């Protein structure tokens, strides 16, 4: 994955690299799918906490407007459901659960601090 495409934040980049380790370079679409999957995984890990998609996007200050739009579209369009489900499954099986725990906890902590 090229560094310029990983501008959506270090946690997504780390998890994205782990999940897409077999790919030479991840496309913007693939990165957005992993971003949505990570948002869903964190919601599954902490169902008692609420983090809207917009809050999640705002926690990545270097995310481009185009990437934010891609994430919104992928999260809301049923045609991407299978891709996101596959990325969620890969995230659960391939990404370090410790990394996911730290990443998800940081999202909720950062969102709470911004309120």
pLDDT, one tens digit per residue, over 29-51 is: 999 999 999 999 988 888 888 88
Write phi, then psi, for 23 (nearest 5 degrees): -85, 140
The per-residue pLDDT of the chain, averaged, comes to 79
26 CB-near residues (< 8 Å, 6+ apart) = 1, 5, 16, 20, 34
56 to 21, 23, 35, 40, 101: CA distances (angstroms): 24, 25, 9, 10, 15
pLDDT, residue 36, reads: 95
The pLDDT of residue 115: 64
| Opening angle at CA 72, ends 95 and 11, nearest 5 | 30
Query: Domain coordinates of the chain in residue numbers?
Result: 3-114
Predicted model pTM: 0.75
Which band of pLDDT confidence, cut at 50, 70 and 90, is reported for residue 25? low
């Amino acid at each position: 994955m090229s560094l310029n495409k990983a501008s959506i934040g270090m946690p997504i980049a780390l998890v994205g690299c782990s999940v897409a380790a077999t790919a030479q370079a991840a496309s913007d679409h693939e990165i957005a799918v992993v971003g949505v999957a990570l948002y869903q995984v964190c919601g599954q890990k902490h169902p008692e906490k609420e983090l809207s998609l917009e809050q999640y996007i705002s926690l990545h200050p270097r995310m481009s407007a185009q990437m934010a739009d891609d994430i919104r579209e992928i999260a809301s369009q049923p045609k991407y459901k299978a891709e996101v489900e596959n990325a969620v499954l890969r995230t659960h099986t391939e990404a370090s659960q410790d990394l996911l725990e730290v990443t998800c906890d940081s999202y909720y902590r950062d969102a709470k601090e911004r309120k």
